[in-house]
């Protein structure tokens, strides 16, 4: 993922040499935003997944089962 993000970013940065101002600005914007996206995915997604599994997952399942009229068939959460 790091390799594809860096090569895509480099390809967009190549547009910075365009004589057309909108193409140049878009190339710089996209070249900056792709590494930012990679950083956010690497740094934000794992903690968000852990938070979801520890705090939210069981509650949503219990609510959903109550709304459907089923018994609690939710796996036990670890302390």
Top pLDDT among 54 and 43 is at 43
Prediction pTM value:
0.61
Domain count across the chain: 1
Tens digit of each residue's pLDDT (9 = 90 or more) over 50-69 = 988 888 776 766 666 666 66
Percent of the chain at pLDDT > 90 equals 58
Asked if residue 79 belongs to a domain, the reply is: no
Structure tokens at 43: 């740094």
Give the whole-angstrom CA distance, residue 74 versus residue 60. 10
Asked if residue 76 belongs to a domain, the reply is: no
Asked if residue 57 belongs to a domain, the reply is: yes
Asked if residue 77 belongs to a domain, the reply is: no
Asked if residue 78 belongs to a domain, the reply is: no
Instruction: State the number of CA atoms in the 13 A half-sphere of 11 facing the CB.
Output: 7
Three-state secondary structure string covering 3-56 = HHHHHHHHHHHHHHHCCCHHHHHHHHHHHHHHHHHHHHHHHHHHHHHHHHHHHH
Structural domain boundaries, residue 18: 2-68
Asked if residue 56 belongs to a domain, the reply is: yes
Tens digit of each residue's pLDDT (9 = 90 or more) over 14-41 = 999 999 999 999 999 999 999 999 999 9
Asked if residue 43 belongs to a domain, the reply is: yes
Give the whole-angstrom CA distance, residue 53 versus residue 55. 6
């Amino acid at each position: 993922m790091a390799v594809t993000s860096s090569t895509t970013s480099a390809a967009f940065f190549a547009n910075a040499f365009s004589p057309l101002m909108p193409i140049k600005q878009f190339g710089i914007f996209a070249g900056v935003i792709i590494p930012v996206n990679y950083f956010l995915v690497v740094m934000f997604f794992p903690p968000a997944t852990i938070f979801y599994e520890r705090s939210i997952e069981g509650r949503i399942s219990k609510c959903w089962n109550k709304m459907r009229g089923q018994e609690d068939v939710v796996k036990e959460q670890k302390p």
